[in-house]
Amino acid sequence: MPNPTAAMLVIGDEILSGRTRDANMHYLAGEFTKHGVDLREVRIVSDDRPAIVAALNALRDAHDLVVTSGGIGPTHDDITADCVAEAFGVGIDVRADARAVLEAHYERQGTQINEARLRMARIPDGATLIDNPVSAAPGFSLGNVHVMAGVPAIFQAMVASLLPHVTGGQPLLSQNLRIQRGEGDIAGPLRVLAEEFDDLQFGSYPFQKDGAFGANIVIRGTDGARIDAAMARLSAAFPE
């Protein structure tokens, strides 16, 4: 059976303005690769309701699962939950179980719950909560869409809550060969190898260092013995 496919939607004005460099995408990509889920597409959009709704609908139709990051806090620019409700055509309101989780958390902290914090208990109808062990305010899953916080520590905790519920495939294995030759010298033999080992994926990632060109050739697949065989042939073609 092929691995399930996934997409990620980052709601991130701070990434689009260049203020912040993304961390969640990189984290999720690594976790999915280990778990045998193929991350096929990432979209980053701003805090713009029509843009978020359109992206949600495009991605949930095209992939087995979708993870979103960001926009579920208490401030006026946190509109992800409302966008998910709109995308699915369901209602949204403060939900008793989410409210109880928040109230217990703030009581422990000696903090008052207020109108802004109550926004974080607004959950689309039919969704299942995702546990937030860091700051209580839950994420949620609706259909194949999993809605998570943007703060990296919370995002990572929510991914850990989600993964056991995702039926992954075989983990994608990879090996890397660093070749100190221009990609133009590597390309011909690499194409021949890629055609022969057509059950594997061959990627060529050029670099330039101290004026010299080279490339990292990455061979990926689910069968370690096949990767070993291809890597042996590649190493023989480009001895150090």
Instruction: Enumerate residues 151-190 that contact its own copies by CB under 8 A.
Output: 151, 153-154, 172, 174, 182-188, 190
Cα–Cα distance between 234 and 228 in angstroms, integer?
A: 10
Instruction: Kindly tell me which of 90 and 175 has the beta carbon lying closer to its own copies.
Output: 175
Cα–Cα distance between 41 and 38 in angstroms, integer?
A: 9
By the rule CB under 8 A, 238 interacts with its own copies? no
Min dist CB 125 to its own copies, Å, is: 24
Instruction: Enumerate residues 95-134 that contact its own copies by CB under 8 A.
Output: 111, 113-117, 119-120, 134
Pairing state between β 201-209 and 65-69: unpaired
67 DSSP β-pair partners: 8, 146
Selected binder of its own copies within 4, 11, 24, 25 (CB under 8 A): 25
Count of other CB atoms within 10 angstroms of residue 118: 15
Selected binder of its own copies within 41, 64, 82, 131 (CB under 8 A): 41
By the rule CB under 8 A, 147 interacts with its own copies? no
Question: With CB under 8 A, what is the number of residues at the site for its own copies?
Answer: 74
Instruction: Kindly tell me which of 90 and 214 has the beta carbon lying closer to its own copies.
Output: 214
CA angle 171, 175, 179 (to 5 degrees): 155
By the rule CB under 8 A, 66 interacts with its own copies? no
Min dist CB 193 to its own copies, Å, is: 10
Residue 56 burial (C-beta neighbours within 10 Å; 0-12, 13-18, 19+) = buried
Q: Are 172 and 219 within 8 A, CB to CB?
A: no
